[in-house]
Amino acid sequence: MTKETDYSQFSLLDLFSMEVKTQVAVLNDRLLALETQPQTQEDLAALMRAAHSIKGAARIVQLNSVVTLAHAMEDCFVAAQAGEIRLTAADIDVLLAAVDMLLNIGIACEGNSQPQLPEEANIQTLVSAIANILNSPPVSQTAPVELAQPQTAILESNSTASAWVVPPSQVFSAVDKPETLQNRVVRVGADNLNCLMGLAGESLVEAKWLETFADSLLKLKSRQTELFSLLEKLQELLGNNSLNLIERQIQEQMSAVSQTASECRQLLGDRHNELELFCQRSSNLADRLYRQVIATHMSPFGEAGQGFPRMVRDMARQLGKRIKLEIFGKSTLVDRDILERLEAPLTHILRNAIDHGIETPAERLALGKPETGTIRLEVVHRAGMLLITVSDDGRGIDLEFLRLEIVTKNLTTPEMAAKLTEAELMEFLFLPGFSTAKTVTEISGRGVGLDVAHSTVREVGGTLRAVSQPGLGMTLYLQLPLTLSVLRTLVVEIAHEAYAFGLARIDQVVMIPRTAIVVSENQPFIMVNDQAVALISAHQVLELPASVVNPEFLPVVIISDRLSRYGVVVDRFIGECNLVVRPLDSRLGKVPNISAAALLDDGSPVLIIDIEDLVRSISKVLASGQLSQVNHATQTAVTKTYKRVLVVDDSITVREMERKLLENKGYKVEVAVNGMDGWNAIRSSDYNLVITDIDMPRMNGFELTSQIKTHDKLKHIPVIIVSYKDREEDRIHGLEAGANYYLTKSSFHDDTLLTAVIDLIGES
């Protein structure tokens, strides 16, 4: 879950001001984009959400004129989305003037309980101008934006209206000066570049430390304010009594102390503000440096795959086959170290597809396929990982033949082979020396191809999975980290220390109730997707002190190798983060179960788990029979003392309004800034109730509710949908998704929301 600033000390008008400034940035950027490119649904949806958020925030603070203006803008963007209108340059001028008006209102509200707002007539002029846009005749969706002079007559009352519109033809284009596109190359040694990357990562961590230091100064400032208050009270007590000489001297000294404390408070406040500005500049600079250095270590995938088309062509001719290789994502950036290691496994995979997968032209014609077979290689970035897909339209793998081969090679018994699933059968293809080829040729048949590919992918922290459709082809999925220097990880706590698991090597993350644990022959198990997964405590396998608490739910990280799957019980999930990988000192040798180290944002160290080594260690512990129970009854259980509520809303104002309402009633409240952020939070922590908005980026409230209510472990959590839209179809949609309540945000001004919360989970 995203870590947020504590907004509890801000007034609602301050929060409204923050909301407006945030959304105005979106409105400005997207409106300007509409003038230089086709009006995409993405831009229009973002504009609609921004106006909708301002409207909701204005309603909370009861600024009705702002509600009217934002509502008019929202209607305009909705109409553009539906194709009823197309925004011209003149229309965008009007909308930009409205954006300026909103910004001025937001600035006026900052730190001011009685803001001086623009005259109502000026706002209504803009509302009328926007209404005229809605009444304009529809234009073809493919028509370009016509750049015209702005309608200044409509906007005479608003001094912030644009005065000029610059056609795109007058804006500098890189095409005009092609020499600026030349990429100058400088040779840099790999060691120097790796050192530079390490330093960039450290600078980013150090910049994050400044934020923590600034927070500590803020706490010091708060404590000093309390001290100043105590001095004032003491001075009042001395002043209320008749004073003798000594008491007068004490009072004089107290006055001096009070004056000094006041000066210190002012000085500390000024220095803290300066430090905050420095923190922002330092963090931005470190982040830019870090990203730029990472970029220097990346190369387009096409550089590594240049030889593949020729290799496929030559091998196909040698085998008398016709094969077309299609490569997608040649420009996708990949870490150079990974690119170097990818060439061998991809070569083996392509050779297998050519030899085993694609049929001869005669065979393909007999099967009703085109004479020319196709191998498709696709490279994309997805969910912070590098995904490479290699597929062919050949014969695929006959699963029954594969099952028979496994038994023939004495890899398992016929009874066990009959029970193997398709995924389990395909795993045998990656075993050393395993091959389904009937003859050994110069090209393949020795069983080393997929084994080499699998081993290489595992070495770089990735996974390899095969899927076959008999008669239709085969697909192999390679999932790899984007870079070996930066690792996307799940950070957990074990024995009060942080440890990191590479996300690419995690099968699943679950919270397991103790009642779901089954013990057989002294071995605890859980059922995950109808499969038994052996449980083991991370404390035992890492040889760390055992936990002294016994929570109701166990955080479990499920990992696996080719043949085994285990659930590692940790103390708690801390969250996902990118870590700059730092190798351990070579003098330490191979540290059991640990592959490398890194620093968290706060500068604290974290050890990165070596999954392959950990799986081997688990196997040894299980084989020894000295397994400790993960649900030992003598340990002390933790009891809940409060009820937890998750508020999901992309509006700062609404989030903080709901937080204050609920915390004042004794509930423990956490917030998420959008639907996806909320979904991640729900899966990694326990909540008694979820309150969500509808219109949010990345995942809306209906989708979030549906995800919760269709999840076996989460569907018991009640959900309240709170929206400005009091439309019957939205209410029905929300209830069909599984929401327990559908409320409008007018309920903030009475007890409807609190009544619903108490009705669902009781009083805190």
Higher pLDDT, 653 or 461: 653
Residue 551 token pair: 């929570």
How many other C-beta atoms are found inside a 10 Å radius of the C-beta of residue 430? 20
For residue 712, the one-letter residue type is: D
| pLDDT tier for residue 315 given thresholds of 50, 70 and 90 | confident
| pLDDT tier for residue 153 given thresholds of 50, 70 and 90 | very low
722 in Cβ contact with 692 (< 8 Å): yes
Which residue, chain included where needed, has tokens 């066990």?
Answer: 416
pLDDT at residue 144 tops 70? no
Q: Please give the Cα distance from 401 to 627 (Å, whole number).
A: 39
What pLDDT does 190 receive? 63
* 694-706: average pLDDT: 87
- Residue 60's DSSP bridge partners are none
pLDDT over 90 percentage in the chain: 14
What pLDDT does 208 receive? 67
56 in Cβ contact with 16 (< 8 Å): no
Question: What residues contact residue 497 under an 8 Å CB cut-off, 6+ apart?
Answer: 544, 607
Q: Please give the Cα distance from 207 to 49 (Å, whole number).
A: 33
Please provide the average confidence, as pLDDT, over all residues in the chain: 78
pLDDT at residue 424 tops 90? no
| pLDDT tier for residue 635 given thresholds of 50, 70 and 90 | very low
- Residue 525's DSSP bridge partners are 518, 534
pLDDT tens, position by position, 21-54: 889 888 987 887 786 677 788 889 899 999 999 9
480 in Cβ contact with 388 (< 8 Å): yes
| pLDDT tier for residue 449 given thresholds of 50, 70 and 90 | low
How many other C-beta atoms are found inside a 10 Å radius of the C-beta of residue 195? 11
Following DSSP, what letter does each residue of 76-144 receive, concatenated? HHHHHHTTS----HHHHHHHHHHHHHHHHHHHHHTT-SS--PPPHHHHHHHHHHHHHHHTSPP--TTPP
**Terminal alpha carbon distance of the chain:** 23
456 in Cβ contact with 466 (< 8 Å): no
What pLDDT does 76 receive? 92
Beta pairing, strands 553-560 & 565-569 = antiparallel
pLDDT at residue 636 tops 50? no
For residue 352, the one-letter residue type is: N
- Residue 647's DSSP bridge partners are 671, 691
247 in Cβ contact with 238 (< 8 Å): yes
What pLDDT does 370 receive? 93
pLDDT at residue 439 tops 60? no
* 264-279: average pLDDT: 77
For residue 134, the one-letter residue type is: L
Q: What is the DSSP letter of 719?
A: E
Flag the least confident range among 200-204, 263-267, 294-298, 730-734.
200-204
pLDDT at residue 84 tops 50? yes
Q: Please give the Cα distance from 65 to 401 (Å, whole number).
A: 74
Q: Please give the Cα distance from 187 to 199 (Å, whole number).
A: 19
Tell whether the torsion through CA atoms of 212, 217, 219 and 220 is positive or negative.
positive
For residue 706, the one-letter residue type is: S
pLDDT at residue 609 tops 60? yes
Q: Identify how many contiguous H helices and E strands the chain contains and give both numbers.
A: 21, 23
Following DSSP, what letter does each residue of 447-497 receive, concatenated? S-HHHHHHHHHHHTT-EEEEEEETTTEEEEEEEEES-SSEEEEEEEEETTE
Q: Please give the Cα distance from 377 to 403 (Å, whole number).
A: 28
pTM: predicted TM-score of the whole model, two decimal places:
0.45
470 in Cβ contact with 394 (< 8 Å): no
What pLDDT does 238 receive? 65
pLDDT tens, position by position, 119-139: 888 899 999 999 998 887 665
Residue 640 token pair: 């809940």
What pLDDT does 148 receive? 39
pLDDT at residue 151 tops 70? no
pLDDT tens, position by position, 550-575: 778 889 999 887 667 889 999 989 88
* 383-387: average pLDDT: 79
